[in-house]
Chains A and B, each alone.
Chain A
Amino acid sequence: MIRKLFKSVLIALSVASFFCSVPVIGQTPEELLAPTEERPILVNPEYWISGIRIFSYFGEGGDVARNLRDWIDCPKELYRSWQTASRNIAGLYAASLFERDNPKVKLVWYEYAGEAAGKEWSKVLMSALAAGEGPSAYDANVFGGVATAISKGLCGDITEYVKNWDQTKYLDMKFWAPAWKNGRCYAIPGQAMSYELSFFRKDWFEEAGIFAAEGIAGPPVDWTFDDFVNIGQKLTDPKKKRWAFGLPVDVIRTGWLQNFGGFMVKPDPTGKYTFRSGLDLPTTKEFLKFYRDLKFKYNIALTGTEETGTAAAYDFWGERTAMHIFEGTRHALLWGRIDRHMFGDKSWLDTVGIIPFPKGPTGLQIGTPKPWWRFITINPVISKERKDATWKFLNFILVGDGKKILAQDMAYALNDLPTNDIAPNPYHPRYLDDPNFASRSWKETIPGEQYREIFNYVESLPVNPIPDFFAMPIMEETALQEKHRILLSTLLTNPNADLDAEVDKVANMINKTVLNYKIEGQTWDNIKEWATSLKEFYEKNFPEQAKVFNEIYETSFAVWPKK
């Protein structure tokens, strides 16, 4: 009898408890975030609270003009709003302006249940596309590269729109090439990359007594990887849970790889396929060996099977590592301007410095190639009307008035004048030609002489004029990365692994499953153009590396038919 009573009370309680509405226990966000004596204001409360309201109702958005994931529908469809603007009112304002000027168009949210951005989003998008629907415009890179997406038919043909476009003359064809196939265009640049740099903890370098020059804590700009190791050893202190660097296992740091002169893929010497895995090149192996030594020989790295790129970033922001690589879309220091107090009460400017990547064994220090883009494409299965509307909106938000509003908003957040480009923008927004639009160059927004010098130095580093694998896209980049992850996680967790054997094993896997294709209509001219330009680049700027490169040039790169 008592048991029955107990049971029914339990059931009733459990039913009742989850129907109770928020908040059951606790305070409102304002109360939780109110400054207290122990915790003074950390961020601007106005911005923060407006952010959290929008955050909770509309979902976490990206930042200004980031991955466009939205629906643009003509009349009779559901009403949704543009997701990327969710974090600021400016985006909503821009969206409503567009709707006012185009009464037949409604802008629509596209929500999805996943927070693991990128990883789950691609599955959701693919499922939607398979079912014949999906957003009107989306980032084509989520399918493992824009070339993969095009080959699977997931990108709409936009050649007609691009032909008469005024922005075409500003876009460098060499970087746009992956979005073209057989003379038809399928995607436009959506997002530009900033320079690849390393962040480091200035205060830790001061403590360790490492100075580049008088009063400037940090490594010298022309440091080598040996310097990196020495500095790392001084900074690592496992007792204090401090390491020099977080080594991700799921991405190969291309910035480091290229300074070793290594390549992830190389052209197929036999000509049967387009690519073979570049993991067995001697330069790549040298890089992998160094990567592994960081963990097992010098013991300065924090890594593990869960160490993804973002986990490595969290290690840095969580004060566990001294240095981190930043491959950002935004101006490297814009974040710092906004997040002034990332490390307690210390100003970002006092605690974080920037530095280019170290020089390779032969003195290679290559700059970031002119920023590569993520591509936006239009859904191929929607109607022509919707495609037109989408194209119009894309122009509005990337080039036209929408872009102006977003730039002004970003400036408002920075308490500054708007920048005329958020380093480096592939487009030429219209407001740049407006003499009344007060703005300044993004370079002027860089605080501090020292940072400006570093940026100038980074800009001055030589770059191969022709991007890697020019016009020969690597398909299924995600699958390739997965295989690289297998290799890296083996090397970084097993000190006794035989490097050559593991590399051969994974290279074999890659060659058999991921790179076992030949691009239709592959022309040797592209390979020739790229390989020759690479050779000349090395000979002109880095003669020591040219010697190393020439050894593998004949077998692995100069593989066009000799006439």
Chain B
Amino acid sequence: MLIPEVGRKKWRVRIILIGITAFLWLGVVLHLFPFYWAMAVSVTPPDDAYKLPPNFFPSHPDFLVYRTIFSHGFTLFMRSPLWVYVKNSFIMTGGIIAIQIPLMALVAYSLSKLISARWNRIVFLFFIGTMFVPGSLTIISRYLLLRYFPFISKGPAKFPTYNFLDSYWAVILPATFSGFSILLFKGFFDTIPNELLNAARLDGASEIGIFRRIVLPLSRPVFSVVCYFTFIGSWNNFLWPLIVLKKDRLMPLSLMIYNLQAKMETSFRPGEEGGISWYASNDALKMGYGYTALMAVAIIEAIPVFLMFIVFREEIMKGVRLRGFK
């Protein structure tokens, strides 16, 4: 504590404390305000949404937009109903978490506990080395790799290749490697005292057994942290699905939001009528197409992130305390 208990009753200190509280609350309001605003906009009737000055408390909340979005009317805006996109986001994120976390945890564990100091540095660099490279460097190579797996080539090779593109794997597979996760895991595993493991080895346990029975229960916090960050990272993943996915029914929510707001501002070239068909535009406007719908969809996109935070907050705090940084 910077301000000790003794002096807290003094009025000067009190004012400072109140000031700090006010500052903190102001930060909270600013921080959460866009979210609240999006909710308010999404329930204003379409005609009022464009009026200024804005009213922070919509007088006639109209859930028309939500009805449109959740019903089949959503196909006015995008090609598939909303639940398809939500499902895709969950599948992709779930797949990434399911594959990446065990793999990276095992690697980190062996880096921290099993590999001797001689090799440790080299192996560590091997795993972490590619982390600092900008992702944009490898867009084309990863794309071609997925097309002609396991080769990067521009045309069919003599060996049989498999096309992973335009499927969930195209998004999940490249994300199975994450140096960041290895770092987090390793940082945590480093804090597990070796004596524990040696004792178990004395008892005759195998390494896998040790990992399963001793290390895993202890490392719930770090698993939560990594899960959380991986979830957030892949939930917001926008550029990579944009490049590899063609089918509309595979699009994740982030990509769908981008397309939705791009529909309103498509680059116009002579002869190209982009975006929503003219026949639909007028009706669509009446049904809440426009920024109200966009806000509603944005909220829907933000809710799972919010939920994950609620679920994992405690674990994150625990994981953070026990983790050491080098």
Do A and B interact with each other, yes or no? yes
Residues of A in contact with B (beta carbons under 8 Å apart): 3, 7, 10-11, 14, 18-29, 32-33, 39, 42-43, 47-48, 51-52, 55-56, 59-60, 62-63, 67, 87, 111-120, 123-124, 127, 130-132, 141, 191, 193, 248, 250-251, 306, 308-314, 317-318, 327-329, 335, 338-339, 341-342, 374, 381
Given A20-B83, A132-B154, decide whether A117 and B275 contact each other with a Cβ distance below 8 A: yes
Contact of A341 among B73, B83, B276, B282 (CB under 8 A): B282
CB of B243 closer than 8 Å to a CB of A: yes
Contact A131 B71 (CB under 8 A): no
Contact B266 A308 (CB under 8 A): yes
Please, which residues of chain B bring their CB within 8 A of the CB of A60? 79, 276-277
CB of B274 closer than 8 Å to a CB of A: yes
B282-326 vs A, CB cutoff 8 Å, 1 = contact: the mask equals 110111000000000000000010010011001000000000000
Interface positions of B from 33 to 84, Cβ below 8 Å from A = 66-68, 70-73, 75-76, 78-81, 83
Interface positions of B from 252 to 296, Cβ below 8 Å from A = 255, 259-260, 262-283, 285-287
Contact B250 A113 (CB under 8 A): yes
Given A25-B67, A48-B279, A115-B78, decide whether A120 and B267 contact each other with a Cβ distance below 8 A: no
Residues of B in contact with A (beta carbons under 8 Å apart): 66-68, 70-73, 75-76, 78-81, 83, 86-87, 90, 143-144, 147-148, 154-156, 165, 241-243, 245-248, 250-251, 255, 259-260, 262-283, 285-287, 304, 307, 310-311, 314
Please, which residues of chain B bring their CB within 8 A of the CB of A314? 264, 281
Docked CA distance A67–B274 (Å)? 12
Q: Which residue of B lies closest to A39 (CB)?
A: B286
Contact A130 B73 (CB under 8 A): no
Docked CA distance A131–B81 (Å)? 31
Given A127-B243, A310-B266, decide whether A32 and B68 contact each other with a Cβ distance below 8 A: yes
5 contacts between A and B (CB under 8 A): A11-B311, A18-B90, A32-B71, A56-B75, A113-B241
Docked CA distance A19–B81 (Å)? 12
Q: Which residue of B lies closest to A118 (CB)?
A: B272
Given A60-B79, A117-B275, decide whether A308 and B245 contact each other with a Cβ distance below 8 A: no
Shortest distance in angstroms between A32's beta carbon and chain B's nearest beta carbon? 5
Please provide the 8 A-B residue pairs with the shortest distance between their CB atoms, ordered closest to farther. A309-B268, A26-B71, A56-B75, A116-B262, A117-B274, A310-B268, A132-B155, A23-B71
Contact B262 A26 (CB under 8 A): no
Docked CA distance A419–B278 (Å)? 21
Contact B274 A310 (CB under 8 A): yes
Q: Identify which of B87, B241, B262 gathers the most chain A CB atoms within 10 Å of its CB.
A: B262
Please, which residues of chain B bring their CB within 8 A of the CB of A250? 267-268
Docked CA distance A148–B272 (Å)? 19
Please, which residues of chain A bring their CB within 8 A of the CB of B311? 7, 10-11
Docked CA distance A60–B72 (Å)? 15
Contact A116 B268 (CB under 8 A): no
Q: Which residue of B lies closest to A18 (CB)?
A: B86
Given A11-B311, A117-B266, decide whether A327 and B75 contact each other with a Cβ distance below 8 A: no
Contact B310 A10 (CB under 8 A): yes
Please, which residues of chain A bring their CB within 8 A of the CB of B247? 111-113
Shortest distance in angstroms between A254's beta carbon and chain B's nearest beta carbon? 8
Docked CA distance A60–B75 (Å)? 10
Docked CA distance A127–B68 (Å)? 35
Given A18-B83, A60-B277, A132-B156, decide whether A191 and B70 contact each other with a Cβ distance below 8 A: no
Contact A112 B71 (CB under 8 A): no
Please, which residues of chain B bring their CB within 8 A of the CB of A43? 279, 282-283
Given A52-B75, A118-B266, decide whether A131 and B83 contact each other with a Cβ distance below 8 A: no
Docked CA distance A298–B245 (Å)? 46
Contact of B271 among A14, A112, A191 (CB under 8 A): A191
Contact B279 A111 (CB under 8 A): no
Q: Which residue of A lies closest to B245 (CB)?
A: A113
Please, which residues of chain B bring their CB within 8 A of the CB of A141? 269
Please, which residues of chain B bring their CB within 8 A of the CB of A11? 311
Contact A26 B268 (CB under 8 A): no
Please, which residues of chain B bring their CB within 8 A of the CB of A52? 75-76, 280
Q: Identify which of A114, A248, A306, A328 gathers the most chain B CB atoms within 10 Å of its CB.
A: A114
